[in-house]
Structures are given as C-alpha cells and as structure tokens.
Amino acid sequence: FFSPFIADSQQPSTMAEHEETVTTADVEATEAPDVQAAKAADTTSSDVDSTKKAIVDLATANQCKIDNFKEVRPQLDPLFDIMAKSSTLTPAEFLERKQGLWKQLWTDDADDVKANNKVMGTDRARTYQLVYGDGTFYNFNEVVLPFGIRMSAFLSCYYKQADKGLNIGFDGLYLKLGGLGEESGMKALIDNIKAGKQGGLINMTSVSKFPKGPIGATGYNESIYIDEEIRLDRAYNDADKDIDLYVLKRLP
C-alpha cells in the first residue's frame, strides 16, 4: 500500500525546492489566520456600513411621519442590534463622543408628538439636541402654528452616568416666537439660553409639570452606536419604561 512513486513525487528534488517548500508552508501557517481575520474585518466593516446606510435611509424617509411607528420599528430593531454588536466603545467614550450638536432623524417616542393636534404640531425635520460635557443638554425644535407661524421650544435637561448609559431628567421649558434659524447658529443660540443671555424667551416651566408636561419627568438613555456621522440611542421614560429608538445625525 505504500507507493515510492507517490512519496518521491511529494519530496523536493533540490535544496532550493526544499527551501521554497518550507517557506511556502511557513507563510501559509503564519499568514492564513491574519488573512482570514482581515477578510472577516472587511466583511464586518462592510456589514456595518451597509446597515448604517439602511438605518439612515429608513429614518430619513420616515422622519416626518407619525402614523407608521409600528411599521418602521420592526425594521429598525434588528439593524440596531447589528450596530450595537459592532461597537467597542466604553461608557466613558460613548459619553465623550455624545457631546455636541445633533439633528434628530427619527424616533418612535410617543411623547415627541403629544403636543400635535389640529392647531399645532412639532416639525420633526427641525428637531435637535445639544449635549454639553457638564451634565446638561438641551432638546429643542420648531412648533408650527396656523398660518405658518412658528415658535421654538427649548427643553433644558440634565444627565448622570449610570451603568452603560445615562439617567436623565428635564427641568426647564422655554418658548420663543419664530424659528430656530440656520443650523450653523444653533450652538450659539443654546449657549446664550444656557447662560441666561437670550432675550425673548417665555418661561413655561411652572405650567409644564409632569404628567401634563415634561418638567420633573426622568428616564434612561443609552447610546448603542456613535461615530462621526450618526448616533443610535435606546431610551425610556421612567413612567412607562417603554423603550424608544432614536436616530440622530451629527452636525458641525
């Protein structure tokens, strides 16, 4: 059963051929795992990029719709799971990258549309958030009234790191006649409000107490993915514990 012919054909006939055979074997033994890892990394990166695009496309297409949450949410849930598994950031790194100005692309938070009625409605395409590094942030948007009149609403909020996310609360509500203006000027606008330097504000805090309004409400927010372009959050209100999704786009 042993064939010298087959055995001879598998053995190198010269030293050069022997060295070449050893070198090839060594390369295969040492590089193959790296090559496989690189291919896996490429696949993972490709999956993340395509999943991220799918999320942004879906969020943008449904940004201003408030009657199809139940149709959009099941499509986003598995995509969020993929993105959550791809992130390696620590809670501290998430918090650091969370700071800055964000534009909301989509959420299924029912509290977001409570004020909507036949007389007024939130412009979901003009909804933003500015996160500071001192434990505070502002949610703000434009409210559309009859005859195209607009008002701007500003909700002052606070946060404290807890586990993988943040405990959050809401402590001030202010209104201003007119829209928010250009996105490039929004940080300066919120900086002025935070510093008490912005005129023309109507303080609605005392008449907006929970449960009729947001003041005094608390909740939990956890970012599951952040990069230089988007942020994906899961959050809930302590009153109902219903987990809502948020897709946000980073602004300069």
How many other CB atoms sit within 10 Å of the CB of residue 116? 14
Percent of the chain with pLDDT over 70: 82
Q: Is the peptide bond before 211 cis (omega within 30 degrees of 0)?
A: yes
Mean pLDDT of the chain: 85
At 126, is the secondary structure helix, strand, or coil? strand
The predicted structure's pLDDT at residue 29 = 39
Q: What is the CA radius of gyration of the chain?
A: 27
The predicted structure's pLDDT at residue 3 = 27
Angle, helix 15-61 to helix 69-86, in steps of 10 degrees: 150
The predicted structure's pLDDT at residue 111 = 80
Task: Lowest mean pLDDT of 30-39, 84-93, 142-151, name the range.
Answer: 30-39
Task: Lowest mean pLDDT of 28-37, 182-191, 198-207, 212-221, name the range.
Answer: 28-37
> What 3 state SS string does 49-78 have?
HHHHHHHHHHHHHCCCCCCCHHHHHHHHHH
Q: Where are the domains of the chain?
A: 91-250
Question: With contact defined as beta carbons under 8 Å apart, do 62 and 72 qualify?
Answer: yes
pLDDT tens readout for residues 44-80: 778 999 999 999 999 999 999 999 999 999 999 999 9
At 140, is the secondary structure helix, strand, or coil? strand
Task: Lowest mean pLDDT of 28-42, 106-120, 201-215, name the range.
Answer: 28-42
C-alpha closest to that of 153 among 189, 179, 182: 179
C-alpha closest to that of 156 among 107, 181, 191: 191
The predicted structure's pLDDT at residue 63 = 97
The predicted structure's pLDDT at residue 176 = 97
What distance in Å separates the CA atoms of residue 29 and residue 27, rounded to the nearest whole number? 5
| Chosen CATH of 91-250 out of 3.30.70, 2.60.40, 2.30.30, 2.40.128 | 2.40.128
pLDDT band at 118 (very low <50, low <70, confident <90, very high): confident
The predicted structure's pLDDT at residue 116 = 75
Percent of the chain with pLDDT over 90: 75
